[in-house]
Amino acid sequence: MWDLGKRSLVRRLVLLAGIWNVVVLLVAGVFLTAQFRDSAIRRFDAALTVLTDDLYASSSVEDGVVKAPFLTDIRATRVYSGRYWQILEMRPEGTLKMIDQSRSLFDSSLTIPKVQAERLAADPGKTQFFDLMGPQNARLRAAAILTRLPGYPRPVVFIAAEDRAPIDRDADIFARNTAIALILLGAGLVSAVVIQVRVGLLPLFRLRRELGSVRRGKAERLQGLYPEELEPLAVELNALLAHNQEVVERQRTHVGNLAHALKTPLSVMLTEANQQPGTLAEVVERQAATMREQVDHHLRRARAAARSQTSGERTPVEPILDELAVTLERIFQDKGVEIDWRCPETLCFQGERQDFMELAGNVMENAGKWCRAKVRAEAVASSPERMTLTVDDDGPGLPPDRWADALKRGQRMDEHTPGSGLGLSIVDELARAYGGSVTLGASPLGGLRVTLVLPRSEG
């Protein structure tokens, strides 16, 4: 099966129309050329028939000898002029004997093929047409008739022939001109098909653009007016978007209720443990705090997974990096941490502000915690649909064999440093919930480099 551009509807329609046009025009060209050639040959044969009829009608028999008439056709008197005639006698054994011929044949003669002689003998009185070779190897068109003359004992064949080069030349010219005309017509038809397809599919292209705007957060629904063939599709897509939004809202409500239901008992446990000091209270307090961290972690992950299904959120990146840099420099002012950040004003994260704040905040806070004095953050658009946030520090860094462990939940790279070991794990899971990724590497500043790849919304 031919691959007719299966990934492009426009290409498929144009190819199908183009192939059909080529086939039709090719057949039409062959048919028209054949008809022209046949028509020219029929006119040629008609003129030859007149000549053979004149020969037959004007010939006579005198003293048992066939006398050819005096014909006024000057071409038949010039040597090798291209018009010739002969009068032949059909013998009993089927051979032909020359009786007379035109002066234009000079020292040559016309040789009728044996098969054609047999056909003349089998159907006397009927003019037959055929091709033969004449003087100077010229192709001739001939007309011949076998009949009897009063007073002559044997059948007589009258044959007239003419050079068919003019017919072939005119047919070739017609074929060439027809081919040029049909090629121009085909190009015009294909161009018309391309324009027709492009114009006809404009609503479909507009539907695709509107869907892209919805996905990038520039619109919430399809707003355009579409032809009756596409209107049901637009309605169904809007219904699907509304249904997805409803499902997400239900998930958010459920997550919020679950958070409230779990946090309240944990708060009560922590309060009771604080009021009754002792070994058991310390255990309860420590485990309840761990449970709260785990609950917060999984609730954040669930909320992110729910939000990632929506497509209407757009968060400018520059203000968040500015806010985080100012806050973290205050937090780590005892270390004298300097945070250098760079970001285009138009760069936007496709998701909620709170989630990007948590993603960038965890990574930049981790860098500030481990750096000696300098942190560098840079956000760029890596593709029309992706953005990259790179955070470097000048700290001790991590050996490559520990990069994978740093992203595991609960892994702490230094037990003497405060923390739960959830920072980079939360970043990794939250990024993957948005269809992104987190990778660790060596920083040119000497410490650790954390690279976040996240969905981008066009600004």
Q: Where are the beta strands (DSSP E) in 295-419?
A: 315-316, 338-342, 348-349, 374-383, 386-393
Q: φ, ψ for residue 286 (rounded to 5)?
A: -65, -45
Same domain, 255 and 364: no
Buried/exposed 61-89: b ≥16 CB within 10 Å, e otherwise: eeeeebebeebeeeebeeeebbbbbbbbb
- 30: amino acid identity, one letter: V
- 380: amino acid identity, one letter: V
Determine the average pLDDT of the residues in 163-181: 91
Distance of CA 391 to the CA centre of its chain: 40
192-223 pLDDT per residue, tens? 888 888 888 888 888 888 887 776 666 777 88
Report the alpha-carbon distance of residue 181 to residue 178 in Å, rounded. 5
CATH number (domain holding residue 322): 3.30.565.10
Same domain, 51 and 195: yes
Q: Is residue 61 part of a domain?
A: yes
15-61 pLDDT per residue, tens? 888 888 889 999 999 999 999 999 999 998 998 998 888 888 888 88
Conformation bin of residue 151: beta by default, left when phi > 0, alpha when psi is -120 to 50: left
Report the alpha-carbon distance of residue 393 to residue 385 in Å, rounded. 27
Same domain, 47 and 188: yes
Q: Cβ neighbours of residue 298 under 8 Å, at least 6 residues apart?
A: none
For the chain, percent of residues with pLDDT exceeding 90: 30
Q: Is residue 146 part of a domain?
A: yes
244-289 pLDDT per residue, tens? 777 767 776 676 667 666 767 777 777 777 777 777 777 777 777 7
Q: What is the count of structural domains for the chain?
A: 3
Range of the domain at 112: 1-200
